[in-house]
Amino acid sequence: MTATDTDIDTETTEVSTAETTDASETARPDGGTPDAADSGTTDATRATDTSGRQSPAVAATGPGTDTLLQTDGLTKRFGGFTAIDDVDFSVETGELRCLIGPNGAGKSTLLKLITGRHDATSGAIYYDGTDITTRRPNERVDLGIGMKFQVPSVFDELTAYENMRLSVQRTHADAHLDEAILDALERIDLAARATTPAGELSHGQQGRLEIGMAAALEPDLLLLDEPVAGLSVEERNEVADLVTELNDDGIAFIVIEHDIDFVAEIAHEVTVLHGGEVFREGSIEAIRDDDDVRRIYLGGE
Ligand SMILES: Nc1ncnc2c1ncn2[C@@H]1O[C@H](COP(=O)(O)OP(=O)(O)OP(=O)(O)O)[C@@H](O)[C@H]1O
């Protein structure tokens, strides 16, 4: 996604973290997912049966359970190629999960299925008591799923303050807006750069601004696709601190990351994807010591 791709209405000045697209995809004017045409028939499992009863899977992510997100046999095919293959994956409320795996394992595709940027070919996604499998991206944002994509999404010509305003105004009334924007900038250590155009911020500061903007929408689950790619060690540590702080505040995370040191610093549990399937799940220590993971992750298979 680039800044110019994002849908900003100059009257209401609105930005959505999951409604936007990157250069490889085309946004649909109806706000629907961009790839309905290429995904083939969607026969995703429905959450209610014909009698209108809620399925056990929906209830499993509902109030009183620890599970915030659950996928059930989730599959995504691009033509004849299966990028995500019958994946059962779940995230607990408030947990911080890292998603690793070799290039092409399906990590980004899985996140895009969760945000609604891709339609599922089959299977289902349940979030906080709701079947979101066919919900539009903006509905998923409203339900509490935020996303920071791999490509920059701040508006270079707007200041840090103006960028942050785009998010904060969605959750705060006018009377408290200024204070809330400054608080949000303080949280990401950018209050002193409030009047600096985002394009003049360092790569690391831009990354923090993007995460801060996504967090300002007050999600319960925040998805980050390679948040420290290209950052210096110092900038990486700042992002690690920020993610940890936001997680301590109660936001659950799914973080895709190749930088295993960063993963070790932040993760509770790690899921390894390989060939579109869940290959392993466990603690970072167990995953690091797993010879099979090392082999596939290092490209030996
Ligand atoms: N829109 C698409 N059309 C066709 N194939 C796609 C599309 N998006 C992804 N793929 C394919 O699906 C597979 C998984 O891609 P994905 O980007 O999810 O992998 P990844 O694990 O995120 O990889 P990386 O670490 O390199 O970013 C790859 O083989 C990729 O080429």
118: containing domain: 56-150+220-299
Given the CA of residue 109, which atom of ligand 1 is nearest to it?
18
Q: What one-character DSSP code corresponds to residue 294? A: H
Q: Determine the pLDDT at residue 170.
A: 85
The two structure tokens encoding residue 117: 């940027």
The response to whether residue 105 sits with its C-beta less than 6 Å from ligand 1 reads: yes
The tally of domains found in the chain comes to: 1
Confirm whether 12 is domain-assigned: no
The response to whether residue 12 sits with its C-beta less than 6 Å from ligand 1 reads: no
Q: Determine the pLDDT at residue 110.
A: 97
The response to whether residue 274 sits with its C-beta less than 6 Å from ligand 1 reads: no
Confirm whether 208 is domain-assigned: no
Q: Are 7 and 13 in contact (CB under 8 A)?
A: no
With vertex at residue 297, the alpha carbon angle to CA 294 and CA 299, rounded to the nearest 5 degrees, is 105
Q: Determine the pLDDT at residue 62.
A: 67
> What type of residue is 154?
V
- The interface predicted TM-score (ipTM) is 0.97
Residue whose CA is closest, atom 8 of ligand 1? 109
Cα 261 to ligand 1 centre (Å): 24
The closest of 292, 286, 236 to 265, measured between CA atoms, is 236
Cβ neighbourhood burial of 138 (10 Å; 0-12, 13-18, 19+): middle
Question: Which residues have a Cβ under 8 Å from the Cβ of 93 and sit 6 or more positions away?
Answer: 66, 67, 68, 220, 252
Confirm whether 279 is domain-assigned: yes
Confirm whether 109 is domain-assigned: yes
Cα 24 to ligand 1 centre (Å): 11
Cα 258 to ligand 1 centre (Å): 15
Given the CA of residue 79, which atom of ligand 1 is nearest to it?
4
Distance CA 113, CA 134 (A): 10
Confirm whether 224 is domain-assigned: yes
The closest of 96, 90, 97 to 65, measured between CA atoms, is 90
CATH of the domain at 284: 3.40.50.300
Q: Are 24 and 151 in contact (CB under 8 A)?
A: no
Confirm whether 192 is domain-assigned: no
Q: Are 181 and 165 in contact (CB under 8 A)?
A: yes
C-alpha 120: how far from chain center: 16
Q: Determine the pLDDT at residue 54.
A: 53
Confirm whether 73 is domain-assigned: yes
Q: Determine the pLDDT at residue 175.
A: 75
Q: Determine the pLDDT at residue 149.
A: 67
Q: Determine the pLDDT at residue 278.
A: 96
Q: Render each residue's pLDDT in the chain as its tens digit; 301 residues.
A: 333 333 333 233 333 333 333 333 323 323 333 454 343 334 444 444 444 445 555 657 766 678 999 999 999 999 999 999 999 999 999 999 999 999 999 999 999 999 999 999 999 999 998 999 999 999 999 999 998 866 667 899 999 999 999 989 888 877 789 999 999 999 999 999 999 999 999 989 999 999 999 999 899 999 999 999 889 999 999 999 999 999 999 999 999 998 888 999 998 799 999 999 999 999 999 998 899 998 887 655 4
Q: Encode burial over 252-269: b for 16+ CB neighbours within 10 A, e otherwise.
A: bbbbbbebbebbebbbeb
Residue whose CA is closest, atom 17 of ligand 1? 108
The response to whether residue 34 sits with its C-beta less than 6 Å from ligand 1 reads: no
Given the CA of residue 101, which atom of ligand 1 is nearest to it?
21
Q: Determine the pLDDT at residue 55.
A: 58
Q: Are strands 130-131 and 145-148 parallel, antiparallel or unpaired?
A: unpaired
Confirm whether 170 is domain-assigned: no
